Structure 1
Amino acid sequence: MINRIWFGGSRWYWLLLPFSWLYGLISGLIKLGFRLGWRNVRHFPVAVVVVGNLTVGGNGKTPVVLWLVEQLQRRGWRVGVVSRGYGGRSDHYPLLLDTTTTTGQAGDEPVLIFQRTGAAVAVSPRRADAVAALLAHQPLDVIITDDGLQHYALGRDIEWVVVDGLRRFGNGWWLPAGPMRERAGRLRSVDAVIVNGGTALPDEVLMQLLPGDAVNVLSGQTCPVTELPAVVAMAGIGYPARFFATLRALGVNVEREVSFADHQSYGLDRLVVLTTTHQTLLMTEKDAVKCRDFAQPNWWYLPVNAQLPPDAIPWLLASIEHKIHHYNQ
């Protein structure tokens, strides 16, 4: 229902407009408080890059973070990542991730980033505390914050916004009448707008998500995803329809699609009933990190990687490296 209101052209959004105006007023006052110095902004002697979005839901932000971490690591920079840790609950914050950290403690996206990149990762509801914990633990050249565009208590040097190129901003209204955390005019103040699929507007960078081979959650075995038999596809992400559309475009034999809420927690009983012994359960990598401890032999995931235009990469990274050099002087 809410997706029809936000993205489907439904006019019932007007019933929620008073709450949206209140949301816009409160968020605007908070932002003004930081701008005028009434509220403290915490700065650090290291380059801080925010990768965020203006809307709620899945825009492809985490693949961009993974891409950026790996690009900077290849250039020899020491990279740390901080996150709010949505979907996780720790008995203490900030939480520095290690090989024993679970998604129940840190949330799915931080664990995915840690496992994929090996970067130093910390989570905290107060992202500045996470940055401080990382810097106290080891020297770093750059901090990337996964989400947090609206977390103005953390000073930042560079802001990237990821936009869903198909759905864009829906009806354009603040929550809850629309999907917006901030209005689209905020794009004028950021350093880069990266568009996930669809069509990029002038001065935007078009990104594509490229799937790799399917990976068995239990064994790590890989195979072309089209060779998996009788697939039941599941996704607990912000926009599951994108995952299912990707599978259809690849020609995967999908017999059923199952959607879960974003950051959904799983157990064996919840997932084992989705397939028969002759079917394959295919999930996103974000789902897979929550299922490794009880994975079954017929469970697979499909990793995706962000691909950005080659001509955009030099200037995207140059601005970050300029900031890194500035702090290292």
Structure 2
Amino acid sequence: MMALQHAWYENKKWVWLFLPLSILFFCISSVRRALYKLGVLASDKPNAFIIIVGNITVGGNGKTPTVIAIAEHLMQKGYRCGVLSRGYGGSQTSFPHFVSAADEPSLVGDEPKLMQHRLSCPVVIDPKRARGAKFLVDAYQCDVIICDDGLQHYALERDFEIVVMDGRGLGNAKLLPMGPLRELPSRLKEVDVVLFNGQPNAALTIAEDKLATMVLEPNQWVNVNTGEKCATLPVIDDQVATAIAGIGDPNRFFITLSKMGISCDKTIAFPDHYAYQLKDIPKGMVLMTEKDAVKCSSFAHDNCWYLQVSGNISANIYQLIDNKLKLLQQQV
């Protein structure tokens, strides 16, 4: 899978072997969306403001820190927020499922577990988003629901759509499996905001009134095993330091470390949502993302640290959300 992803962003010609499958994917996805628009396939929406934080490409690019930042903003405004996720990578089979502090990432998925750890609002997983959203309203009286992913899950109607992108842009701009696209690039014109994790991609033309940016800012280092927190790493002379990352773009984490002036003897990239085992953790100092840490906490040694980051999002995205919320409230 990683070889195919590299081919998408390196414009390899052999991806044309998948052309028949991409045509089939386009036909199925287009017909499916049309059936939802026509009402042939049922869609639903509970009595809450629904925000979708998704993307039109496969792979991680910053949706989770976006969800956390928006949830924190709206909770400060007094809204009763809930977060809804599919629970990708988890083994849970009974839905909807409230993510508790006792749940293991292997049960609920790494990203829902991370969000449960960082947020004070309820986090629920359910592959059927409309059902999960209704549960958040009925059980927790949420008036705003933020969906981590789900842009293409049209069974859940929505009030506000955010597409998150990073510097990789659209890759070769081809649909799955020839390229990374879940939908055509024209979909970007329909959403409320296109949020770039980092600098906007110069190859894409996005209307200024729907363009926003996010910078992932390091907060502190946290010991995976003990929970100890510190602003700078407790460096020991001549120790070997290894950085590991199992996220959508591992190189982004390694570049962050370099910008912080941290030199690692070795970097190891794992697939997104990788299920870590004890054998994957090197000896010596190990540096990882928070998403990795939630899966390594039960077997990490005392010199494993994760970098806690926060998404610093440009203020215009909050203003757009606040304005639409106020407008809908006035119409009630």
Contact in 2 for aligned 1:47/1:323 (Cα 8 Å): no
For 1:240, the aligned partner's letter is P
Tell me: CA distance 1:314–1:153, structure 2 relative to 1, closer, same or farther (3 Å): closer
The counterpart of 1:241, out of the listed 239, 243, 251, is 251
| Aligned match of 1:231 | 241
Please give the alpha-carbon distance, in whole angstroms, between the structure 1 residues aligned to 2:106 and 2:46: 29
Please give the alpha-carbon distance, in whole angstroms, between the structure 2 residues aligned to 1:257 and 1:44: 45
Equivalent residues in 2 for 1:66-77, closer than 5 Å: 66-77=68-79
Q: Cα offset for 1:21?
A: 1.1
RMSD of the TM alignment (CA)?
Answer: 1.7
Please give the alpha-carbon distance, in whole angstroms, between the structure 2 residues aligned to 1:178 and 1:313: 29
Please give the alpha-carbon distance, in whole angstroms, between the structure 1 residues aligned to 2:256 and 2:175: 29
The counterpart of 2:224, out of the listed 217, 221, 229, is 217
| Aligned match of 1:286 | 291
The counterpart of 1:83, out of the listed 77, 85, 93, is 85
Equivalent residues in 2 for 1:297-308, closer than 5 Å: 297-308=302-313
Contact in 1 for aligned 2:193/2:317 (Cα 8 Å): no
Equivalent residues in 2 for 1:30-109, closer than 5 Å: 30-109=32-111
Q: Cα offset for 1:4?
A: 3.4
Tell me: CA distance 1:314–1:179, structure 2 relative to 1, closer, same or farther (3 Å): closer
| Aligned match of 1:270 | 279
Unaligned runs of 5+ in 2: none
Contact in 2 for aligned 1:162/1:193 (Cα 8 Å): yes
Please give the alpha-carbon distance, in whole angstroms, between the structure 2 residues aligned to 1:301 and 1:82: 25
Contact in 2 for aligned 1:226/1:250 (Cα 8 Å): no
CA offset digits 1:213-239 (Å, max 9, x no partner)? 211112222223455453211111111
Please give the alpha-carbon distance, in whole angstroms, between the structure 2 residues aligned to 1:111 and 1:53: 20
When the two structures are superposed, what TM-score results if normalisation uses the length of structure 2? 0.92
Q: Cα offset for 1:173?
A: 0.5
For 1:283, the aligned partner's letter is M
Please give the alpha-carbon distance, in whole angstroms, between the structure 1 residues aligned to 2:257 and 2:41: 46
CA offset digits 1:222-270 (Å, max 9, x no partner)? 2234554532111111111111111112111211111112111223x22
Contact in 2 for aligned 1:217/1:301 (Cα 8 Å): yes
Equivalent position SS for 1:294: coil
Q: Cα offset for 1:19?
A: 0.9
Please give the alpha-carbon distance, in whole angstroms, between the structure 1 residues aligned to 2:273 and 2:195: 23
Tell me: CA distance 1:314–1:88, structure 2 relative to 1, closer, same or farther (3 Å): closer
Please give the alpha-carbon distance, in whole angstroms, between the structure 2 residues aligned to 1:199 and 1:152: 27
The counterpart of 2:31, out of the listed 25, 29, 32, is 29
Q: Does 1:206 align with 2:213?
A: yes
| Aligned match of 2:170 | 169
The counterpart of 1:254, out of the listed 257, 264, 268, is 264
Contact in 2 for aligned 1:226/1:253 (Cα 8 Å): no
| Aligned match of 2:193 | 192
CA offset digits 1:47-68 (Å, max 9, x no partner)? 1100000101121111100100
| Aligned match of 1:182 | 183
Contact in 2 for aligned 1:282/1:300 (Cα 8 Å): yes
Please give the alpha-carbon distance, in whole angstroms, between the structure 2 residues aligned to 1:219 and 1:178: 42
Residues paired across the two proteins, number: 321
Contact in 1 for aligned 2:86/2:127 (Cα 8 Å): yes
Runs of 4+ in 1 over 6 A off after TM superposition: none
Unaligned runs of 5+ in 1: none
